[in-house]
Chain A
Amino acid sequence: MSDFEVEPSLKDIVTHESLKWIFVGGKGGVGKTTTSSSIAIQLALHNPTKNYLLISTDPAHNLSDAFDQKFGKDARVVDGISNLSCMEIDPSSSLEEFIANNGSGTDQNDPLNGMMSEVTGSIPGIDEAFSFMEVLKHIKNQKNEDSSVIKYDTIVFDTAPTGHTLRFLQLPSTLETLLGKFNEISGRLGPLLNMMGGDQKTEMFNKLAEIKTQVTEVNKQFQDPELTTFICVCISEFLSLYETERLVQDLTKYHMDVNSIVVNQLLFADDDQCKRCQSRWKMQRKYLDQMDELYEDYHLVKMPLLGNEIRGVHNLKLFSRFLIEPYDPKAHKDVVFSLEER
């Protein structure tokens, strides 16, 4: 790996043919939403014939704010970019919906009443799993219907801060142990459970097993580097780097492909007059050097800190080009203060 230089840009991802899922993740507040929006925009601009969908699974939605356009549960096309759509999914609400649909009977005397919802609700990672499954259902439905509905070639996920996505990847094994335990219990207390409502019990087992097969299927796709990649976003500070390192290690443990890291909010203040900016940049550079050493075979994309919030398609376009064409503080100096005010 080390005998050829890895480009410090996301050009590989933008020009990749087979990628179906792109995850963008990292610590809170480092610019995940901005980065994922920018990636989606660059994808859409570079491949005008393909259709892209940007999904936020973060309960604190901010895609609407980033694009200055209201998005909801259903995909909606971004104004000004006809081949990019966005949607915001609330993981907890889709879980509640599932429970409401498949939930318990109306028999108040049944001791197993509501057990299903309690059991499923307490599995770690289940809410994320449900939002992913929702998306998949959405996409599968589209395949069957006529050509008037848009088919998406690639889907970009703006994930919730670190942990959640990983928990989702753990879900199949969690469910497996859970089902094993259940089977053990029902083997011992079988007759008793049957007396208390055996039908519901078997129904619950079947449902959990069904969820498991679905999740396993999704996971298989996510672990295929030809189909899925993960982009970590961080800022050049100790804790953020530490979290990123852990994220990278965990992703590798779950066999998920990760080869790009976006370092956000860099000051590039070499020729700046501002003393504070200069010393801050010195600190950022210290960590950048360390990162260069640590992640030499990753795409390490260095993004500048601009003068204002990056909101709206125009500003996102301005910002996002540095994902492809590395930012040069001399040549691109004007961009910093050229954002449209909102």
Chain B
Amino acid sequence: MQLQTLFLVVTGLTILSNLVSLVTKERIQGAVYVVFLRLFLTGEYNKLMKLRSEQLAINKERNAISAQDNYAKWTKLNRKYDALAEEIKKQEHALSSQKSLIDNYVSRALQLLTTLPINALKLWYARKSLFYTRPGTFPWIIDAVIINLPFLPRGSVGIYVWCFCVNRVFWILVDFVKVLTEPRPLPPSKEKVN
């Protein structure tokens, strides 16, 4: 791989993986699941919703009548309610097993997209210099101990150090945006309480 493309790819992947952790994996999984529900499991999902609303309706009806005066009716509603509860449980179970399957796939896909290629590239190009700094930018001791890790030619920046820098800059920017967009605390009220 050419050095320029390598540089761009590594930078892009690092930013992507940071974006994923910013959004959080759970949210992505949830979103994928919702899309999956809409596309393939609408029938199942609607059935669950229908069952739930039926159960609610029965509960309402049951609570509206007096158990002692309409014992037979009340008990019949109870039976229906229990039957529905059983069915809902089954349906939920079926759907949740789907969800865990999808979650599994999503997290594996994310890994394949971000962590795995970054680590592979880091391993493969560990001893390649991505670019050189202008001589004298940093004191030689910093060059030798930090910038040139792992034992690259003097003045050059390797993939490890570059990824580290990208990460730091990314999170500093995130914090910066967060601070800017945070709602301002209200000024203390001037009215006297007592």
| Residue from B70, B75, B79 having most chain A Cβ neighbours under 10 A | B75
Interface string of A252-282 (1 = CB under 8 A from B): 0000000000000000000000000000000
Separation in Å of the B70 CB from the closest CB of chain A? 8
Q: Are A294 and B75 in contact (CB under 8 A)?
A: yes
Q: Are B71 and A241 in contact (CB under 8 A)?
A: yes
Q: Are B71 and A287 in contact (CB under 8 A)?
A: yes
Q: Are B68 and A245 in contact (CB under 8 A)?
A: no
Q: Are B67 and A245 in contact (CB under 8 A)?
A: no
Q: Are A238 and B67 in contact (CB under 8 A)?
A: yes
Give complex CA distance A293, B75 in Å.
Answer: 11
Q: Are B68 and A293 in contact (CB under 8 A)?
A: no
Among A242, A249, A294, the residue within 8 A (CB) of B72 is A294
Q: Are B79 and A290 in contact (CB under 8 A)?
A: no
Q: Considering the complex, give the chain B residue whose CB is closest to the CB of A241.
A: B71
Among A241, A249, A289, A294, the residue within 8 A (CB) of B76 is A294
Please, which residues of chain A bring their CB within 8 A of the CB of B76? 294
Q: Are A238 and B79 in contact (CB under 8 A)?
A: no
Separation in Å of the A249 CB from the closest CB of chain B? 7
A interface secondary structure, majority: helix
Q: Are A245 and B78 in contact (CB under 8 A)?
A: yes
Separation in Å of the A272 CB from the closest CB of chain B? 24
Please, which residues of chain B bring their CB within 8 A of the CB of A294? 71-72, 75-76
For chain A, residues 235 to 255, give those with C-beta under 8 angstroms from any C-beta of chain B. 238, 241-242, 245, 249
Among A249, A289, A291, A293, the residue within 8 A (CB) of B79 is A249
Please, which residues of chain B bring their CB within 8 A of the CB of A238? 67-68, 71
Interface string of B75-95 (1 = CB under 8 A from A): 110110010000000000000
How many residues on B have C-beta within 8 angstroms of the other chain's C-beta atoms?
10
Please, which residues of chain B bring their CB within 8 A of the CB of A249? 79, 82
Q: Are B72 and A293 in contact (CB under 8 A)?
A: yes
Give complex CA distance A197, B71 in Å.
Answer: 58
Give complex CA distance A238, B70 in Å.
Answer: 10
Separation in Å of the B18 CB from the closest CB of chain A? 38
Give complex CA distance A9, B47 in Å.
Answer: 44
Interface string of A139-182 (1 = CB under 8 A from B): 00000000000000000000000000000000000000000000
For chain B, residues 34 to 67, give those with C-beta under 8 angstroms from any C-beta of chain A. 67
Give complex CA distance A287, B72 in Å.
Answer: 9
Interface string of A98-124 (1 = CB under 8 A from B): 000000000000000000000000000
Q: Considering the complex, give the chain A residue whose CB is closest to the CB of B67.
A: A238
Q: Considering the complex, give the chain B residue whose CB is closest to the CB of A245.
A: B75
Give complex CA distance A294, B71 in Å.
Answer: 9
Please, which residues of chain B bring their CB within 8 A of the CB of A290? 70-72, 75
Give complex CA distance A242, B79 in Å.
Answer: 12
Separation in Å of the B193 CB from the closest CB of chain A? 56
Please, which residues of chain A bring their CB within 8 A of the CB of B68? 238
Q: Considering the complex, give the chain B residue whose CB is closest to the CB of A239.
A: B68
Please, which residues of chain A bring their CB within 8 A of the CB of B82? 249
Please, which residues of chain A bring their CB within 8 A of the CB of B70? 290
Give complex CA distance A241, B76 in Å.
Answer: 13
Give complex CA distance A242, B71 in Å.
Answer: 9
Please, which residues of chain B bring their CB within 8 A of the CB of A287? 71
Separation in Å of the B73 CB from the closest CB of chain A? 8
Please, which residues of chain B bring their CB within 8 A of the CB of A241? 71, 75
Give complex CA distance A291, B75 in Å.
Answer: 10
| Residue from B68, B76, B82 having most chain A Cβ neighbours under 10 A | B68
Give complex CA distance A46, B123 in Å.
Answer: 90
Give complex CA distance A216, B71 in Å.
Answer: 37
Give complex CA distance A249, B86 in Å.
Answer: 13
Q: Considering the complex, give the chain A residue whose CB is closest to the CB of B70.
A: A290
Separation in Å of the B78 CB from the closest CB of chain A? 7
Give complex CA distance A289, B75 in Å.
Answer: 13
Give complex CA distance A245, B79 in Å.
Answer: 9
Give complex CA distance A294, B67 in Å.
Answer: 14
| Residue from A242, A287, A291 having most chain B Cβ neighbours under 10 A | A242
Known: A238-B71, A242-B75, A291-B72. 7 other contacts (CB 8 A): A241-B75, A242-B67, A249-B82, A290-B71, A290-B75, A294-B75, A294-B76
Complex A-B: 24 CB contacts under 8 Å: A238-B67, A238-B68, A238-B71, A241-B71, A241-B75, A242-B67, A242-B75, A245-B75, A245-B78, A249-B79, A249-B82, A287-B71, A289-B72, A290-B70, A290-B71, A290-B72, A290-B75, A291-B71, A291-B72, A293-B72, A294-B71, A294-B72, A294-B75, A294-B76
Q: Which residues of B contact A (CB under 8 A)?
A: 67-68, 70-72, 75-76, 78-79, 82
Instruction: Identify the 9 closest CB pairs spanning chains A and B, nearest first.
Output: A290-B72, A290-B71, A293-B72, A294-B72, A238-B68, A245-B75, A294-B75, A287-B71, A241-B71
